[in-house]
């Protein structure tokens, strides 16, 4: 099926059609209005954003492309530069575009936690539900008071996610390292919201699994990599954790450390689970270990498996692994719109639709989904607590086992 991407920027690679009239042709009743769901993702830089938008569109198509008499339109927007790194000005533009659209009901995004943090106050002021399928930073749902006032200026929750947060991921990383006989680790972040948060949480939880932190550093540009790599190898650590999502920095750091000492095990979180990164690290992948919430095909509920098969048939290749979370984000948002309708969706004021959609999402309980059954807790987090523990082989993630993190290792504070 051809797609047409709707991008807020004037120029972007032609991705084919991502805005589709999903109305079932056999439906005879007329549509009386069009409602929009905006999706903000990195559509440049080969980070899989195209697949995330496509996944939301497929969710819309699977659910008929309409709710009662309202047609549902998916609007994909780019938030990244040519390297795939999110750009604050693009994120703000996207969020404002959605917030100011009188037909917009909800917003799915952003991909990166830092971008999500930038978009949050804009969408919060508009009373618009924002759901992320990939932003894992804990502070987005459990902010300290000062941050909470900034990202939730109205004091009302408008952000939630369908992916487990970094409380879960940090514990999964520690358990994975323990299983791989890691005793000492050097931790590096990339200075972004995701990296700083994951590093903080990992350092806190590592002590509970008997892993020592031999050193830590922040790398924000390539000129720092040589010095940090020397610190890593000199520390005597038997593992390096790159807690960040900047693929270029991660690749260069891994390669430099691996060249100096190929006995050091290289760990990363889901920020490094993208195909573009895995395929770029060559032989370094032999010593690379990744935690990520996605699982290989064959491990999801029937609707998830159907999505993965359908994507393969439509595009002749597998979906980017995280796309199944975007598919569920689309499904739960559409279901929240449907459950939130109190009168005639064709005439309901948009502010009422936004409020009721938001409330319905936060009332999600024991939802049967492609990811398994979950609820949305009081903070806006999913109750899912599993992460996959992966090795890298030939540029692909190979699942070792699934880690279901015990509640005893989950931190409650924002920090």
The dotted CATH code for 33-164+299-362 is 3.40.50.2300
Average pLDDT, consecutive stretches of 10 residues, N- to C-terminus, the chain (415 residues):
38 38 50 96 94 97 96 98 95 98 98 97 98 96 96 98 96 96 97 95 91 97 96 97 95 96 96 92 95 90 94 93 95 98 94 98 97 96 95 94 88 54
**CATH architecture of residue range(s) 166-292+386-409:** 3-Layer(aba) Sandwich (3.40)
Q: What is the 3-state secondary structure (H, E, C) of the chain?
A: CCCCCCCCCCCCCCCCCCCCCCCCCCCCCCCCEEEEEEEEECCCCCCCHHHHHHHHHHHHHHCCCEECCEEEEEEEEECECCCCCECHHHHHHHHHHHHHCCCEEEEECCCCHHHHHHHHHHHHHCCCEEEECCCCCHHHCCCCHHHHHHHCCCCCCCEEECCCCHHHHHHHHHHHHHHCCCCEEEEEECCCHHHHHHHHHHHHHHHHHCCEEEEEEECCCHHHHHHHHHHHHHCCCCEEEEECCCHHHHHHHHHHHHHHCCCCEEEECHHHCCHHHHCCCHHHHHHEEEEECCCCCCCCCHHHHHHHHHHHHHHCCCCCCCHHHHHHHHHHHHHHHHHHCCCCCCCCCHHHHHHHHHHHHHCCCCECCCCCCECECCCCCECCCEEEEEEEECCEEEEEEEEECCHHHCCCCCC
CATH topology identical between 33-164+299-362 and 166-292+386-409: yes
pLDDT of residue 1: 40
Q: What is the spatial distance between Cα 66 and Cα 316, in angstroms, rounded to a whole number?
A: 27
pLDDT of residue 411: 66
User: Where along the chain do its domains lie?
Assistant: 33-164+299-362, 166-292+386-409
pTM of the model: 0.89
């Amino acid at each position: 099926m051809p797609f047409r991407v709707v991008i807020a920027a004037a120029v972007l690679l032609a991705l084919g059609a991502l805005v589709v009239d999903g109305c079932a042709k056999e439906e005879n009743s007329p549509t009386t209005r069009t409602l929009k769901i905006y999706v903000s993702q990195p559509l440049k830089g080969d980070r899989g954003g195209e697949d995330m938008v496509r996944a939301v569109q497929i969710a819309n198509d699977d659910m008929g492309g309409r709710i009662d008499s309202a047609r549902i339109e998916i609007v994909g927007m780019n938030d990244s530069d040519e390297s795939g790194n999110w750009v604050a000005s693009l994120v703000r533009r996207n969020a404002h575009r959605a917030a100011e659209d009188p037909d917009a009901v909800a917003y799915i995004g952003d991909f990166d936690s830092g971008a999500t943090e930038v978009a949050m106050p804009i969408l919060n002021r508009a009373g618009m539900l924002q759901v992320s399928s990939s932003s894992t930073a804990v502070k987005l749902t459990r902010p300290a008071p000062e941050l909470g006032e900034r990202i939730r200026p109205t004091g009302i929750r408008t952000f939630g996610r369908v992916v487990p947060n970094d409380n879960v991921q940090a514990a999964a990383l520690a358990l994975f390292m323990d299983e791989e006989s890691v005793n000492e680790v050097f931790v590096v972040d990339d200075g972004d919201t995701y990296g700083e948060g994951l590093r903080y949480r990992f350092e806190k939880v590592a002590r509970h699994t008997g892993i020592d932190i031999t050193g830590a550093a922040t790398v924000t540009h390539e000129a720092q990599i040589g010095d940090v790599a020397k610190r890593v190898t000199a520390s005597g650590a038997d593992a390096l954790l790159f807690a960040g999502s900047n693929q270029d920095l991660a690749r260069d750091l891994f390669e430099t450390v691996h060249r100096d000492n190929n006995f050091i095990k290289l760990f990363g979180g889901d920020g490094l689970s993208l195909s573009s990164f895995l395929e770029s690290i060559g032989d370094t992948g032999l010593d690379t270990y990744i935690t990520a919430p996605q699982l290989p095909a064959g491990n999801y509920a029937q609707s998830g498996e159907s999505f993965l098969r359908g994507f393969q048939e439509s595009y002749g290749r597998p979906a980017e692994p995280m796309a199944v979370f975007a598919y569920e984000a689309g499904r739960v948002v559409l279901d929240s719109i449907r459950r939130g309708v109190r009168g005639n969706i064709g005439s309901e004021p948009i502010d009422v639709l936004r409020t009721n959609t938001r409330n319905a999402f936060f009332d999600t309980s024991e939802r049967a989904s492609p990811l398994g059954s979950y609820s949305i807790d009081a903070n806006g987090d999913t109750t899912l607590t599993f992460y996959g523990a992966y090795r890298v082989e030939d540029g692909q993630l190979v699942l070792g086992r699934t880690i279901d993190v015990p509640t005893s290792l989950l931190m409650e504070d924002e920090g």
